[in-house]
């Protein structure tokens, strides 16, 4: 599951609002000092900044490009942790959701 995707030509960003909503709900257990970063609006801003980095650098996804995009998004938005945390929380939440549905 992805939060967003960037296309380089033509430049564009596709946002997965369903995944963002799911992440915002799944992150209810986030530390109090970080909860403001787990609202749909905050997640969307960080995700757009991340994808914008790919467009500005004209780099498709790779380990190096992802690291740079995470750094760019974190710096631009002031996020106090790596955006990679969003991916990890989403991945864990989806895994739990799937497990929950199969029992």
What tens digit of pLDDT does each residue of 85-101 get? Answer: 998 888 887 765 544 43
With beta carbons less than 8 A apart as the criterion, state whether 6 and 51 touch. yes
Residue-level pLDDT at 88? 87
Handedness of CA 38, 42, 48, 52 (dihedral sign): negative
The string of DSSP letters for 36-59 reads GGGSHHHHHHHHHHHHHHHHHHT-
pTM: 0.86
Question: How many domains does the structure of the chain reveal?
Answer: 1
What tens digit of pLDDT does each residue of 63-74 get? Answer: 999 999 999 999
Q: What is the mean pLDDT of residues 18-40?
A: 89
Domain enclosing residue 93, as ranges: 4-102
Token couple for 43? 């997640």
d(CA 85, CA 56): 23
């Amino acid at each position: 599951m992805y939060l967003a995707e960037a296309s380089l030509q033509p430049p564009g960003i596709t946002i997965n609002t369903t995944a963002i909503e799911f992440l915002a709900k799944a992150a209810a257990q986030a530390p109090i000092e970080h909860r403001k970063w787990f609202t749909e609006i905050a997640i969307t801003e960080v995700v757009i900044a991340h994808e914008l980095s790919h467009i500005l650098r004209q780099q498709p996804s790779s380990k190096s490009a992802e690291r740079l995009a995470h750094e760019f998004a974190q710096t631009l938005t002031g996020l106090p942790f790596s955006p990679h945390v969003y991916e990890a929380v989403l991945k864990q939440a989806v895994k739990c959701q799937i497990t929950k549905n199969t029992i």
